[in-house]
Amino acid sequence: MLRRISLGTPMARREALTFYILILPWLIGFLAFLAYPMLRSLYLSFTSYNLLSPPEWVGLRNYERIFADADFWQSLKVTFLYALGSVPGGSIIALALAMVLSQKLRGINVWRTIFFLPSVLSSVAVAVLWLFIFRPEGGLLNMVLGWFGIKGPDWLFSEQWALPALIIMSWWTVGGQMVIYLAGLKGIPEVLYEAAEIDGANDWTRFRRITLPMLSPTIFFNLVLGIIGAFQVFDVGWVMTRGGPNDATLFYMLNLYTRAFKMTQMGYASALAWILFLIIMFITLLVIRSSAAWVYYEAEVR
């Protein structure tokens, strides 16, 4: 039987003191590098600030400017389209790879490493690599299409194909999701598949009735992280297209960066950041709310 310790005893005070000392480094880091910058940016979003002069309070003027700004709506549209293409497509590819790589085959660990490797490479290095792949003349992708008699598009130089090219590129770095799906697949009891096979269920039925329901918490986790990451994409747009051609790849974060560090409109950029925070939070809450209809937890009784 555990002995209850009164909060007023010396032992309890020592334990409490030890606890606070141990969390103090994290607490200082949280306050200095997360809480304070967030509160500071919230304040700046109501000011006019150019880094050279003190912030000047302007109230809601920055937010009023945002909704009349064509660049805001274009960047929001581009980011939504990118998320709609990259998140579901990447999740499907990652799940397919995980199912293949979950098999007991010779050299399977080597293949897992190969498919996981792109997700740990520098995003700038990956972007430079894909710049060569998407070259209109002499690029690897158009060269392969030429073997089949197909004339490839201009990709990053085309207003219609620049954003699809970046979406295709995002599918190459799904190794992190793949590893999470692999862990989820390993957690599904084999007895379920054996029972379904005895009942005469084919591969598709086992996938639809066993794999997807049992894997739904993992799908939900990857979906939330994917949405958050897609709305914060910046590096590929900056390195590969700089928002062009004709703002076809003007991501939200790229627009925010331009306003903050090129035009030195720090107050306006802070307002943009908080609008993005509210959008991401709203979409995430919608996904979480919808999870009751499609996410299955084994411990639940329905």
Other beta carbons within 10 Å of 216: 17
| 48 bridge partner residues | 56
Maximal CA-CA distance, the chain: 83
Per-residue pLDDT tens digits of the chain, which is 302 residues long: 445 545 568 888 888 899 999 999 999 999 999 999 999 999 999 999 998 899 999 999 999 999 999 999 999 999 999 999 999 999 999 999 999 999 888 888 899 999 999 988 888 888 889 999 999 988 999 999 999 999 999 999 999 999 999 999 999 999 999 999 999 999 999 999 999 999 898 999 999 999 999 999 999 999 999 999 999 999 989 999 999 899 999 999 999 999 999 999 999 999 999 999 999 999 999 999 999 999 988 655 45
Q: How far is CA 79 from CA 70, 117, 119, 159, 260, in A?
A: 14, 26, 21, 15, 18
Find, among 187, 199, 178, 191, the residue nearest to 298 by Cα: 187
Could you tell me how far CA 6 lies from the centroid of its own chain? 46
- The pair of three-digit structure tokens given for residue 164, joined into one six-digit string: 């699809």
Other beta carbons within 10 Å of 102: 18
Give me the residue label for tokens 């334990």: 15
Alpha helices in 31-188 (DSSP H): 36-44, 61-66, 70-101, 108-116, 123-133, 140-147, 162-170, 175-186
Radius of gyration of the chain (CA): 25
Name the DSSP class of 135: -
Q: Are 269 and 65 in contact (CB under 8 A)?
A: no
CA–CA distance, 44 with 225 (Å, rounded to integer)? 28
Domains located in the chain, CATH noted: 1-36 (no CATH), 62-122+159-294 (1.10.3720.10)
Instruction: For residue 98, count CB atoms less than 10 angstroms from its CB and return exposed for 0-12, middle for 13-18, buried for 19 or more.
Output: buried
CA–CA distance, 103 with 186 (Å, rounded to integer)? 10
- The pair of three-digit structure tokens given for residue 47, joined into one six-digit string: 């000011």
